[in-house]
Structure 1
């Protein structure tokens, strides 16, 4: 009863539940749709669809200009007038979206020249990048720990997009038509976010301030490059498999990746919900601040290890039950790839810690190192081990960037020590148990 009472009173936990419920719906419906698409399109077209989606995802960091953590922090601190901060951020992200769109098209044509079927599906998905500027409204709702409006918007859009995919499968729609649902989902989400914001703020009076724009860019520019580097080393494996093996291999590999990435909502929900409170605690007590950070790492490690064990144990059953025989190789890949989530979970928390400590350049360096290691190892290991080699490369890159990187500077070594303590599972479980029992 004590725990239930605490949940009812805690805005952070309520916010976390909203964010988690959003992704649990996506987990169920999204998994079914993904299976259906994989079986309907076959490895080749499913690989083409995922290659195009990877290209869109890589440059989404340019569209957002790395402003998520920065804008949330500035809104929480309230040093700048809210309408100026939101209006200026929105203006900057429109510019970022346009630049990102140019990069998407040019990179696709350089890497896969004359493959017009790939260029077409990229163009069909491209408007979803241009609409990314609406994320500014999500930053606002995150800053006031009120995720339900974001959750409702994203879920309505996701359900509509999913129903359209099902409709297209029943009517023998092409992969191009299915790709267009990515744009439709982004558009509906954006419209609903602005609708909910307008309900709470009758007078919509965002303002653009070019001095504020310069200030925000000076804070976020390392995060722009860092975000691109992060998305590259999250997706570069699929891009390199597509270039070095073929679209069918991307389709098989993507099944393994999606089986693991479907759980990535968990660190986002946890970190987004508790970090605004952690930021405020720092102003009161550095000791309490570090204790809360340690607890955050503990929770993320325990959850991620549990997920990795679960996915590894049941991968064979999941693939054999849900997927066609063409995807049977994915089972082996999943068992290895599932352990990537430990270091992804840790990175989610330390990334926000970097921003709060003004260490954006370290986030940039970390992701660049992860990217370089990933590219180098993929280049060496894919020809020798095929798709298995790409999993090895990704796991090593995440380990180096998400954990080992922090040991090399005195400014980030605290995060390394905290992560190391969390990776000792008995200690992490004891600290969580002690906190719950208070």
Structure 2
């Protein structure tokens, strides 16, 4: 447990540092570019993110599961690396065809710079999974921080001289390339040498196990990116820029969920012999999520207008009212991310896919209806409602996931609140005795 806490601390430290750098840099870039140009860049990024769903055919949770349960780490690393290379080649081919057929010629160069360089780093991804399993994710998050820092310096410096989107796209891709280089160097220095081998049978198994997750990712990206497509065609690029800033203001806080899931994943899989301990891990993760999101949400709701004026200027004055709605979708995203570990542990990939498909249909329908009625606020409200269904509501209606609903509910019972209060008092007394 102590190692998990230490890992979470360093993971949070490096990733929060990275997100602060990216957040401040992106706010400055969006301010200089203005809502229209920033909206065009965000639209291209949404296309790229959607195509990147193919990466889920070598999903990190499956690779981590193999690394946790099997002895030959070199075989798993080599096979996963080859699979990532194959998927990257397919993705590049797809974006080339898609780009020439559908994207305006003026944005083609920006699209290719945004996507293709980053795909070159995909074969190194299993190294990050190995760090996570060894509770050394601080090293992978350090690599992300270095990549983000170099990338944002390049982009912020570049926007002062040129507003061309291809320049921003190239800078964005640098983050992934630098990350891959740092990750490889840390792997060579911090971990024992592994002989990377390839098994075509294992590769097929990985694809087979990841297929439901890939379909879920494809549908989930339809949920998360559908707003951008709807807004672009229903309202315009200016509104895409406004809404993208709302999303960017909310994104940094999701890292807490990633830290929890990264640290608890191996602990949950290793506690299979102790179901009570495993249930406690899920309960604690849900409690931490709610406490964090609720306290931060109250603070941000009061301060958002000042933040927008300070960082973005009058062109983004609409952001405040939309953010106050959109932010509360994060808590349900936290719940969904934690539940995903439970689904992977129990092999409920098809249930996860079914849940994501139903949520996607709900989100698209709500976005179409509420977006037409209330504009950008309607799109934000559609996100909150659909993610509530994704993280909690589905469990009411599905018998397979209803046992997990019992864990979610138990996390917020009066007995758990009393237990947390007693634990807080004990630790406070211990700290005071240590100090005095």
Separation in structure 2 between the aligned mates of residue 31 and residue 360 of structure 1, nearest angstrom: 34
1:378 corresponds, among 340, 345, 367, to 367
The aligned counterpart of 2:222 is 232
TM-score for the superposition, normalised by structure 2: 0.92
Structure 1 residues 16-27: aligned runs within 5 Å? 16-27=8-19
Residue segments in structure 2 that go unaligned for 5+ positions in a row: 428-436
The aligned counterpart of 1:65 is 57
Separation in structure 1 between the aligned mates of residue 43 and residue 400 of structure 2, nearest angstrom: 37
The aligned counterpart of 1:3 is none
Alpha-carbon distance change, 93 to 317 in structure 1, aligned in 2, over 3 angstroms = same
The answer to whether the 8 Å contact 2:33/2:163 transfers is no
Separation in structure 2 between the aligned mates of residue 64 and residue 134 of structure 1, nearest angstrom: 15
- Aligned to 2:135, what secondary structure does the other structure show? coil
Determine if the alignment matches structure 1 residue 254 to structure 2 residue 220: no
Separation in structure 2 between the aligned mates of residue 388 and residue 106 of structure 1, nearest angstrom: 35
Residues 336-356 of structure 1, C-alpha deviations (whole Å, 9 max, x = no match): 001001101111100111101
How far 1:187 moved relative to its partner?
Answer: 0.7
The aligned counterpart of 2:308 is 319
The aligned counterpart of 2:126 is 136
- Aligned to 2:196, what secondary structure does the other structure show? coil
Structure 1 residues 8-407: aligned runs within 5 Å? 10-65=2-57, 67-78=59-70, 80-105=71-96, 113=102, 115-127=104-116, 128-201=118-191, 203-283=193-273, 285-407=274-396
The answer to whether the 8 Å contact 1:374/1:394 transfers is yes
Structure 1 residues 2-13: aligned runs within 5 Å? 10-13=2-5
Alpha-carbon distance change, 59 to 432 in structure 1, aligned in 2, over 3 angstroms = farther
How far 1:195 moved relative to its partner?
Answer: 1.6
TM-score for the superposition, normalised by structure 1: 0.91
Instruction: Compute the RMSD of aligned alpha carbons.
Output: 2.1
Residues 114-153 of structure 1, C-alpha deviations (whole Å, 9 max, x = no match): 5223433221111224433322111110011101211221
Separation in structure 2 between the aligned mates of residue 367 and residue 379 of structure 1, nearest angstrom: 18
The answer to whether the 8 Å contact 1:297/1:419 transfers is yes
How far 1:221 moved relative to its partner?
Answer: 1.0
Matched pairs, number: 425
The answer to whether the 8 Å contact 2:326/2:380 transfers is yes
Residues 351-396 of structure 1, C-alpha deviations (whole Å, 9 max, x = no match): 1111011111122122222222111211222222211111111111
Larger mean CA deviation between 244-253 and 382-391 belongs to: 382-391
The aligned counterpart of 1:432 is 420
Separation in structure 2 between the aligned mates of residue 217 and residue 383 of structure 1, nearest angstrom: 40
- Aligned to 2:271, what secondary structure does the other structure show? helix
- Aligned to 1:263, what secondary structure does the other structure show? helix
Alpha-carbon distance change, 272 to 131 in structure 1, aligned in 2, over 3 angstroms = same
The answer to whether the 8 Å contact 2:15/2:144 transfers is no
How far 1:416 moved relative to its partner?
Answer: 1.5
Separation in structure 1 between the aligned mates of residue 219 and residue 159 of structure 2, nearest angstrom: 35
Alpha-carbon distance change, 415 to 431 in structure 1, aligned in 2, over 3 angstroms = farther
How far 1:170 moved relative to its partner?
Answer: 2.6
Alpha-carbon distance change, 227 to 168 in structure 1, aligned in 2, over 3 angstroms = same
Separation in structure 1 between the aligned mates of residue 133 and residue 114 of structure 2, nearest angstrom: 29
Residues 375-425 of structure 1, C-alpha deviations (whole Å, 9 max, x = no match): 12112222222111111111111011111112223221122222234456x
- Aligned to 1:11, what secondary structure does the other structure show? helix
- Aligned to 1:17, what secondary structure does the other structure show? helix
Separation in structure 2 between the aligned mates of residue 147 and residue 309 of structure 1, nearest angstrom: 30
Separation in structure 2 between the aligned mates of residue 399 and residue 266 of structure 1, nearest angstrom: 18
Separation in structure 1 between the aligned mates of residue 300 and residue 13 of structure 2, nearest angstrom: 20
Separation in structure 2 between the aligned mates of residue 262 and residue 429 of structure 1, nearest angstrom: 28
Alpha-carbon distance change, 430 to 121 in structure 1, aligned in 2, over 3 angstroms = farther
